[in-house]
Amino acid sequence: VPQFRGIETEGSLTGAFMGHMRRANTGIGKAVARDLARRGARVILACRDQQRAEAARQDIVKETGSSQVLLMQLDLGNLQSVRSFAENFLKSESRLDLLINNAGVADRGKTADSFGLNFGVNHLGHFLLTNLLLDKLKASGPSRVVTVSSITYKMGKVDFSCLTTHRDVALGNSDRDAFIKYCHSKLCNILFTYELAKRLQGSDVTCYSLEPGMVNTEISRHGTFFTQVIWTLVGLLFSIDVDSGAQTILHCSLQQGIEHLSGHFFSRCAPLMNMEPKARDDATAKKLWELSETFCGLS
């Protein structure tokens, strides 16, 4: 696929491959970027930590022999950084075939724009990034948007009162609260993809959300000691390796014949047809989209 371009977020594919905390420079993101580079894609690693990302880029180049692995600055916890990235990308790249929204943070705190960290990075940063690149995706079609979610969406909900009042999906600042907020943000990922698919009908762009499985990554490396211990224990007991975790991302990114499943949620390289009703609620998905537009200054 010599003309295939993509972005992966730190954890996307170029036309570009972009990432954040579940990142392009470690874990699943790095495994996906390596696979795409090996296939001949032009890959853009969109990462916050440039030093770590450059080390990962050099590893991928060494392992694949590809000269088409690039690095660009992106902090999904800062909406101005998202806008700057999109502006620079649109100036430098002629097409975008695949955008992989791979960021995932489970931590306490706020973004640079005073949104809850999990909501701001996991949902809002990806929402703005995707919207800013939609015209390029449409012009490059057939193209795809792949958003990494989690089966923990089942524990999530969307509290619009909390979002409008506190700019966060829930209150609280404990380790448990951070995990619950992560679950809420993963439901937002699925609803975003569901609504995006409806808005892309008639275009040559399709979109998919997915859960990669319990993968032993560095998702909690910025968390408290207690959080890191819990994630590490869970990972040791139940996790799969990163190459196995990358397979559903690669399936949604590359598999032919799944275009009619745009908007669906995938697990183990297959669409889940028994999604909980809250993940297929038309009114909630539309309201979340409109509120996200307001938060990002798009409406």
Look up residue 175 and give its amino acid. D
Per the annotation, the verdict on 208 as an active-site residue is no
CA distance 168 to 33: 31
Which whole-number Å values give the CA distances from 216 to 126, 173, 233, 235, 237, in the listed order? 23, 24, 10, 5, 10
Element (H, E) at 156: none
Of 153, 182, 194, 208, the catalytic one is: 182
Look up residue 245 and give its amino acid. G
Residue 210 near residue 266, CB atoms below 8 Å: yes
For the chain, the straight-line distance linking the first and the last C-alpha, in angstroms and rounded, comes to 37
Helices and strands counted in the chain (H then E) = 11, 8
Handedness of CA 139, 196, 270, 158 (dihedral sign): positive
Burial of 238 (0-12, 13-18, 19+ CB in 10 A): exposed
- Residues annotated catalytic, as ranges: 182
